[in-house]
Structure 1
Amino acid sequence: MTSGDWVRFARHDETGIETLQAHFEGHAFDPHWHDTYLIGVTEQGVQRFSCGRAQHDSTPGQVMLLEPGEVHDGDAPTPGGFTYQVMYLAPQWLDTALRDLFEQVPDGFQLGFSAPLISDPQLARAINQAFMILHQPVHGHPPALRMVRDTALDHLLHQLTRQAHWRRPLASSPMPRSVQRAREFLHAHFAEDIGLDALARAAGTDRFRLARAFKCVTGLPPHAYLVQLRLNRARQLLARGLSPVSVAAAVGFADQSHLGRWFRRAYGLTPARYRRQCSNLPD
């Protein structure tokens, strides 16, 4: 991060929705993915990010829509950097909320977006309204009335479904068997020191074919995918109040500083700050 960068983060306990407002100049964050839906709006400047093997430039008022598992990065290509606000919606919460609001939700399907970057002023306003209500405590304001919050979230969901479609989960999509086996092995053993040879044996292929196929399917090489699994688990444990030291050991990082370096590169804030703002516990 540069001296001009800043990040403001909050987590709403009841819904689990995380809100983040940030400003970056130059390189913002490395390629990574989330296990949540990401919806956000660029407030100022140009936010350049790669997603789905394409590069996108988000300008003020444009909406970013990313599904769980979509690999993306972030850079500021113009002087002055960029400012943006994003909300992270847990798939379980979103599924429950949509089924409460809409009768026609097909079983076995999940929400998908047609494009990672769109221009939709109505949706942008709905995101901004819900974001400000959930993010208020960061600015020292008292939490909004429950009914006000619920109304803003319902309006957001109504607007969001105009840009969404129902699709089968990624797990049911065609994927080389070797890559599927490798992903399953990494998910089951993410806290272990896994070598490429061991991963290839579990996948039933050799390390060179696996490395090429894995990156082609997931957008990340196996080692980077493993780091993301560890970071996602670290976020969960930190949000529960576990210390960065114990979290680093639990998810497979060599030490707290190793966790901290990867965490900042992916999310723009330290594990200690993330824990503090999720759990209200001291460092």
Structure 2
Amino acid sequence: MLQFSTTVLLKTKSVLIRDVLCNGDCRHKSDEECAHKTSLVYTYRGVFKRHVGQSEAVSEANQVVFFNRGQDYRISHPVEGGDSCLDLMIDEALLHELAPKEQIQLGEGVVFRRQRRRIDPRAQALVAMLRHGLSRNIAESLEGETLALTLVRRSLGELTSHEAGASFGRQKLVDRAKLVLSSDLARRWTLAEIAKEVGVSPVYLTQVFQQVEAIPLYRYQLRLRLARALDLLGTYDDLTMLGLDLGFSSHSHFSAAFKQTYGQTPAEFQRSAQLKPKRYAVR
């Protein structure tokens, strides 16, 4: 069985958008690879870990991960299930125009200083709109290009994204907590259970997570669940079941949380994205 597959969703002079699926059968670090062009990778399903030297970055639906041109890296899958990502490459002149100077290194080409940034809910919605629209041949090239540039701008904006700043040890602790959450999105985790899994006290965990990610742990989990809902809206005809499958207590709870986060109810998002759902089960 192939480890991964790639589907080109859009290719123009300005952007290249690919849908990359990895089954995650290989759980340990992959052989070293090298990015031939700088890209922004948005995981919309599952989770993976990217290793650059001694640095690590957990990629899940709340993050954008930067693959810099000429940079060696390895990939591992500490959680079962593999991952699915939107891989976005922007014309280098346009990317240089979009990227804030403080986020890139001086020199030839665009090289991001950090491996990742936390994106906001609007960026998550843009990822879903891009993927659904392009994969279903609903969005034309001009719309796809415009949405892609908007997504990049939002992913790099100081007011619409967040760069984690913490010691190596605290970042690793937060990453372990993210992996615990990602291992079972539908589970109604308690703080004590997560803290036990990562080996610290509940108080310390909440303090460090807030410091690193600038949002509470419970809200981070909620955004992971809702991002998974964005992914699955095109495959469910029963939105009550979708909410329950993702761990929400009721349809009203799911719908209210979705609308508060994305500005639309799940049903409204389905209609606006022109999705034609069919029954599907969360895996």
**TM range, normalised to the smaller chain?**
0.3 to 0.5
Normalized against structure 2, the TM-score is what? 0.45
Structure with higher Rg: it is 1
